[in-house]
Amino acid sequence: MRIAIVHRDRCHSRKCGTECILYCPRVRTGDETVIIGEDGKAVISEELCVGCGICVKKCPFDAIDIVSLPEELEHPTHRYGKNGFALYGLPIPVEGKVTGVLGENGIGKSTAVKILSGQLKPNLGEFERETGWDEILRKYTGTELFDYLKTVSLKRMKVAVKPQYIDFIPRVFSGSARELLHSTDERGKLDEYIGGLSLSALLDHDIATLSGGELQRVAIAACLARDADFYFLDEITPFLDIYQRIAAASLIRDLALIRPIVIIEHDLAILDMLADTVHVAYGKPAAFGVITQPKGVRVGINQYLEGYLSEENVRFREYPVVFEKRAHEKDLDRLPLVSFPAMEKRYDRFCLTVSPGEIRAGEVLGVVGANGIGKSTFARLLAGDEKPEGGPIAMETRVSYKPQYLKATGPDTVEFTLRQIARSFDSSAYQHDIIEPLSLAPILQSPVDTLSGGELQRVAIAACLSRDADLYVLDEPSAHLDVEQRVRITRMFRHHVDGRDAAILVIDHDIYLIDMISERILVFDGEPGIRGEATGPFEMREGMNRFLARLGVTFRRDRSGRPRINKPGSYLDREQKANGEYYYYTQE
């Protein structure tokens, strides 16, 4: 389907007499979307539109743009049976480069990887008969994928894969991290990866006892240590802090100099720094997916955020993701909601010190810092799950807490679980504010213990926000969520507390998410695993400068307003460090 967008600020219909704009009541009242019928004419109003088509063909003021909505193409790369999911296009692995794939879950990325790794032969849409490799190669003759697929057809392709859901690893391997890693050391590079990912202290730990972040780093090292022709990494950032994400990205970049790598990543800041090219995947989840031709990483990410692919002339999202350049400079008049005192929490080998602070009504407060530095401990202190030295803190605030690591317990369905928490489950407001943004309708009748990591995360977010509380604390809500879902939860979080005597505290390592969602931030510093210190809350610019100075990384904003990581040692990196401006540096 094609869509005409009427830009009213450019429209001079009353001067030029373009009838279908002049007589359209929807346009005059501010509705900017006009559907184009199969005959190519503007179907603005069945009752009033004269259907002359002048606005489409003749408008001299460029007041109308015509774009396409996502729809299935004609020649699929692979189709799973009649009315089954269809994939169009494939990513292109390139020697010496990191190829990124950016798109929501259920859009065919895993199918593409199975084809590229030789696990699945593409049927070109002919699911009722066996498709031969000769026919497949003829289709790709003259393309960049021809030589690659020819190698796959000869079964000479060896692939190393880092899976998305790392919690399955302990189910298929029993033993220590050292035993797992040494079984994958095929290039003699294991020591380099152990050092780069700070795994030395974990080597003798049993795989089943590792935390999510520790298991993620072990999985990355195991994948990179293999001797393969093609490396595929599905989400390297969940449960890793920004320090560990940058360390992992550096090791992947080094390997890409000699081997092709394809990576799926939903942390746009890391993808921007890591990838050389990006394929955007769009379509309808579980129905069809289209993978575009490669784009420059900056162009690809910006088009994805815009929701419009200019080369394909396709709009796949109704709204753009906007990073407001001055959003954090607004002087918001908010009243204090929660005041927490100075606190200290001691364990055998770790001590957390918290400076006093306050959380304001109606705000979303971000929390940044390395792993193992006390952020989750602070969240449990606020929730009352932990008690500081000297006894529990005297707060009458009702707190709803979503922990970092989730466990699916029991065979109850998602709907039954949420009904036990949300008294207003059947209301239209609950469906609009909770169920729809989290896309929970398709899984409401699924048992909780059968959900994937991303589905379980969305249910946990819904459960947290469904409780009657003054303060909602969410620990790493972005884990296993794709970019579309992350965008939706940022809008959802802001809407949930806007105008209410409530606030949300978000602990996360996705810098884009923290930037979009937060009005102020708490900064955690110290020595991971030994001591942590919480300071703030700070206004965004001051807080991020503190955090990024410790990290040694500088961010700038490009002309779209999107924050980007400067390449280490670049002119802008050196200039910002010299000026003490690590964050929120805008290129006009």
Cβ-contact 262, 223 below 8 angstroms: no
Residues counted in the chain: 588
Tokens of 344: 């200290």
Cβ-contact 34, 67 below 8 angstroms: no
User: What digits encode the pLDDT tens for the residues 267-292?
Assistant: 888 888 888 999 999 888 778 888 99
Which residues of the chain fall short of a pLDDT of 70?
1-74, 323-333, 391-395, 560, 584-588
What number of CA atoms fall less than 13 Å from residue 126's CA on the CB side? 10
**Distance set, CA 304 to CA 270, 286, 324 (Å):** 15, 20, 17
**Which among 275, 171, 177 is positioned nearest to 218, based on CA atoms?**
177
3-class DSSP assignment, residue 204: coil
Residue 440, φ and ψ in degrees, nearest 5: -90, -15
d(CA 119, CA 109): 14
d(CA 42, CA 553): 51
Q: Which helix (H) or strand (E) holds 302?
A: helix 297-306
Helix axes 212-225, 177-184, angle to 10 degrees: 20
**According to the model, what pLDDT value does residue 222 have?**
92
Which residues on neighbouring strands pair with residue 539, listed in sequence order?
Answer: 520
d(CA 334, CA 359): 9
Cβ-contact 454, 485 below 8 angstroms: yes
Indicate the pairing of strand 503-507 with strand 471-475: parallel
DSSP string, 306-361: HTEETTTTEE-SSS-----TTGGG------EEEEE--EEEE-SS-EEEE--EEEET
d(CA 81, CA 513): 38
SS (HEC) of 502-526? CEEEEECCCHHHHHHHCCEEEEEEE
Cβ-contact 365, 521 below 8 angstroms: yes
Buried b (16+ CB within 10 A) or exposed e, 94-110: beebbbbbbbbbbbbbb
Return the amino acid letter for 460.
A
d(CA 476, CA 487): 14
d(CA 189, CA 221): 9
3-class DSSP assignment, residue 364: strand
d(CA 582, CA 587): 14
d(CA 404, CA 139): 47
**According to the model, what pLDDT value does residue 326 have?**
46
What number of CA atoms fall less than 13 Å from residue 259's CA on the CB side? 22
Angle at 91 between CA 294 and CA 161, to 5 degrees: 135
For residue 568, cis peptide bond before it (omega within 30 degrees of 0): no
**According to the model, what pLDDT value does residue 23 have?**
38
Return the amino acid letter for 259.
R
Computed on alpha carbons and rounded to an integer, the radius of gyration of the chain in Å comes to 26
Q: Which helix (H) or strand (E) holds 239?
A: none
**Distance set, CA 173 to CA 116, 130, 169, 188 (Å):** 26, 36, 6, 22
Domains for the chain: give ranges and CATH numbers. Answer: 2-68 (no CATH), 78-311 (3.40.50.300), 335-550 (3.40.50.300), 552-588 (no CATH)
**Which among 501, 506, 554 is positioned nearest to 367, based on CA atoms?**
506
**Distance set, CA 573 to CA 248, 547, 555, 565, 569 (Å):** 20, 16, 8, 9, 6
Cβ-contact 540, 546 below 8 angstroms: no
Q: What is the reported pTM?
A: 0.74
d(CA 546, CA 540): 10
